[in-house]
Structure 1
């Protein structure tokens, strides 16, 4: 913005700020900020307009703008609050500049529009970049956390591990399950792996195919896979689809699968007055999980 227009805006900042605050408050009734407290909304608006004028005075992106956008990101405010606010500021500023001129021709109007755009657009671009970078970082962290939690292999006893599966299994997740399963079997020196599908809502041909592949891969490295948590409706679906799960043991519950795992590792439950109650509690807790 040239020096003349720049001076008009800065010298009349109080009036422009007042008009802008009225515009933003008017739009608040029906937008996402309606649930934010009045005190927080007003203080945030004041900070916002201050960093806008700071950018104008410095004729470029200010560090205050970076700090302000980072604060809003951490508070969870949407990017649209900033972009809408800047668009409102653009309109208020243009209207004010034009109101100060006795005669407005097309050339002057074009100059005002270009100058305001050249001032506001870099601020919008900077804010969008800040938010985009933050969102990408957050999504990346969430994806890593989800991958770590989506297919854990849990050692429950020497040579016996459990992989509880929860939610829908797609091709990408099936690949992750396979990788975690093979790495975990080797890491924990597992002879038996119990894959618990109690939390898998739907078992179709694709899901069954992925599970069979995982079990076959475990067999090839010298371990045994037991599929547990087969509910009646899943058993019926498997039969109707003609899926062959005969290559590895299947059990209806984790408790029954764990007993089989003990037998496969040459162990058995010995009942005694002291140990019987503890073993049953262990098996019951496994069944509930």
Structure 2
């Protein structure tokens, strides 16, 4: 009987698609032309796989093709901004549409129950795969956005000929330190600057880990032939550094960016005077 109801679903593919599209529209999970093409492709491949697999869908080659397709669709929907609920509705509505078709075609209640039970088990497994794919897709988006924000939040500014400054705002962790170093070193190369100012006025707290990241950045800057000044050393930060026993010997530190800039001018033997 399994092969019979599976074959009937395939024979009524167009009707199923119509019902499915309407259910998606009513659920608010639709996405226009893009989703219509995805739905047609999925329905065609899935129903064909059910009919061809001769009642052994789970272990068939066709099932792998269906799984690959639905994983791709779910990931794409996640990247297009669909919520987890909306993504789940994609297969829930397909299952509902399929059940409507089966209820019209199968008269015997026991056979209808068996058919729905079989179909539900298959689609429920696909829903698990789509959820995993959806989460991976959203994680990729979040990861990319984090990288973009990290790039934006670490701008290197050429404040004077031979002087660049990098104001750091927010927590300084290992991954962000890498971005800071890459941006700073690249700007030193591009501008030929000999002095770099790291301003940590916007860093909420400095612990031993943050201090180590700063020291690494200073060391990398010196390897490029430039001197590094750390500004924005607030009283509470100074106390924390002393309390933790962090050794900043050999590193020029200043309380403010203005003070650091003045020191940089002195190192370059520059003097700023008012016009008369």
Q: TM-score, normalised by structure 1?
A: 0.65
**Contact conserved, 1:227 with 1:251, CA < 8 A, in 2?**
yes
Question: Would you say 1:257 and 2:260 are equivalent positions?
Answer: yes
Q: Which residue of 1 aligns with 2:95?
A: 90
Q: Which residue of 2 aligns with 1:114?
A: 118
Q: Which residue of 2 aligns with 1:197?
A: 200
The counterpart of 1:229, out of the listed 224, 229, 232, is: 232
Question: Would you say 1:77 and 2:77 are equivalent positions?
Answer: no
Unmatched 5+ stretches in structure 2: 49-65
**Contact conserved, 1:94 with 1:116, CA < 8 A, in 2?**
no
SS in 2 for 1:104: helix
Offset of 1:153 from its aligned partner? 2.5
SS in 2 for 1:201: coil
**Contact conserved, 2:172 with 2:210, CA < 8 A, in 1?**
yes
**Contact conserved, 2:196 with 2:226, CA < 8 A, in 1?**
yes
Aligned-residue Cα RMSD (Å) equals 4.3
Question: Would you say 1:181 and 2:184 are equivalent positions?
Answer: yes
The counterpart of 2:250, out of the listed 247, 250, 253, is: 247
Offset of 1:42 from its aligned partner? 8.3
CA distance in 1, matches of 2:44, 2:4: 11
Q: Which residue of 1 aligns with 2:141?
A: 138
SS in 1 for 2:110: coil
Q: More deviation in 175-184 or 131-140?
A: 131-140
Q: More deviation in 144-153 or 218-227?
A: 144-153
More contact order relative to length (CA 8 Å, sep ≥ 6):
2
| 1:1-289 aligned within 5 A | 2=3, 4-7=5-8, 10=12, 13=15, 17=19, 21=23, 41=28, 52=39, 55-56=42-43, 59=47, 73=78, 76-90=81-95, 93-94=98-99, 97=102, 100-104=106-110, 109-115=113-119, 118=122, 120=123, 131=134, 134-135=137-138, 138-139=141-142, 141-273=144-276
**Contact conserved, 1:98 with 1:104, CA < 8 A, in 2?**
no
CA distance in 2, matches of 1:230, 1:244: 14
Aligned residues: 250
Unmatched 5+ stretches in structure 1: 29-40, 274-289
SS in 1 for 2:273: coil
1:127-172 Cα deviation digits (max 9, x unpaired): 6687567546534542442342343322221110001111111122
**Contact conserved, 1:205 with 1:243, CA < 8 A, in 2?**
yes
